[in-house]
A = this chain, B = another copy of it.
Amino acid sequence: MSQTEKSQAAAAPAAARKQPTQQRSRERVERMLEAAAALIAEKGSDALKMGEVAERAGVPIGSLYQFFPDKSAIILTLAERYNALSRECIGEGLADVRDMAGLERAFTELVDTYYEMFLAEPVMRDIWSGTQADKALRENELADSRIIGGMLADVLMRLHREGDREEIATTAFLIMSLGEATMRLAISVTREEGQAIVDAYKRMVLREMLAL
């Protein structure tokens, strides 16, 4: 909730170039990102070429490098926008969980929503399936897992006041990280098998959260 604002700051690429301060350039940067997203949707992020992004955005190639230190920074920015949205959803979904039944409901719905989001968003799907390609993207995903793992840990500690806090924290981190892996797996097979996999993940995780 109040983390939503902070996530904007986290969106800044690690080795950033200048942040656009003037309005004109902010609009241009937006056009660059839109162009990149469109090209990824069409041909996949592997085939993303800086020259094409520039052409599509209607800017010379030099302007791209004015705001993005390299190609992966563009992809990272797009990825982080999706991650920020996800974090917000997860935070909201978990916010008013008061008991185990509530957690079960919230978790099930979050996972299903997440899966459908992946199916519906070709750009997100593409970036994620190849997310492990780039070191910066891997680190970003790891950081994201830690944040949402922390959210889940908070809830679990509220529900299991006597449990081992270290163990709960580690397990929550693992659950969220494996959730991302499950999505990657589910979107790389048929829709039918993907759904079965997502269901199996939910079953396993819910059992674990109950037993912790």
Residues of A whose CB lies within 8 Å of any CB of B are 46, 129-135, 138, 142, 145, 166-167, 170-171, 173-175, 177-178, 181-182, 184-185, 188-189, 193, 196-197, 199-201, 203-205, 207-208, 211
Contact = CB atoms under 8 A, between A and B. Distances in A.
B182 A174 contact: yes
Contacts of A199: 170
A138 B134 CA distance: 14
11 contacts: A129-B132, A129-B138, A132-B184, A142-B185, A142-B189, A167-B200, A170-B193, A171-B203, A177-B185, A178-B185, A203-B208
Contacts of A170: 193, 196-197, 199-200
Given A129-B132, A167-B200, 19 more contacts: A46-B135, A130-B132, A130-B135, A131-B132, A132-B132, A133-B133, A133-B134, A138-B188, A166-B196, A171-B203, A174-B185, A178-B181, A178-B182, A178-B185, A178-B201, A181-B181, A203-B208, A207-B211, A208-B208
B181 A177 contact: yes
Contacts of A211: 207
Q: 5 shortest A-B CB distances, which residue pairs?
A: A132-B132, A181-B181, A133-B133, A204-B208, A170-B196
